[in-house]
């Protein structure tokens, strides 16, 4: 078992989640139950799956939750591209958030590869 609050991947993804909430707060009200909700749920999923997985007794189980967290990263990347297509975020915001998201994805992948399964 790992202490999730001590994990850098959990800390980074939690902070990133706050950023997603901040940027989606400027989305149109009509997107409240659409893209805003999807982005927020996917961003919450990353640190949540890391936390839940860390409580598992085996590294194999933990690894599965990390895979789900990585899947949420890719989901967010797609949704940010759509938000840019719809002019909800600028190209600069897209690049900034995509870069940070890619770093989080790499950190999770590296951590996952260190688990002895």
pLDDT at 91: 97
Q: What are the structural domains, with CATH classification, of the chain?
A: 4-114 (1.20.1440.60)
pLDDT over 90 percentage in the chain: 88
Q: What's the full length of the chain, in residues?
A: 117
CA distances 90 to 26, 30, 87, Å, are 12, 19, 6
pLDDT at 99: 96
Q: Is the pTM of this model over 0.85?
A: yes
Separation between Cα atoms, residue 10 and residue 72, nearest integer Å: 14
Q: What is the mean pLDDT of residues 71-76?
A: 98
């Amino acid at each position: 078992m790992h202490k999730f609050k001590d994990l850098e991947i959990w800390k980074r993804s939690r902070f990133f989640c706050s950023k997603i909430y901040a940027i989606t707060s400027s989305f149109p009200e009509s997107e409240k139950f659409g893209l805003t909700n999807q982005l927020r749920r996917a961003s919450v999923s990353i640190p949540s799956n890391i936390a839940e997985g860390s409580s598992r007794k085996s590294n194999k189980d933990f690894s599965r939750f990390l895979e789900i967290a990585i899947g949420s990263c890719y989901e967010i990347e797609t949704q940010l591209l759509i938000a840019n297509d719809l002019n909800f975020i600028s190209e600069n915001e897209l690049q900034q958030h995509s870069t940070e998201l890619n770093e989080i994805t790499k950190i999770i992948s590296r951590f996952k590869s260190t688990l002895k399964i």
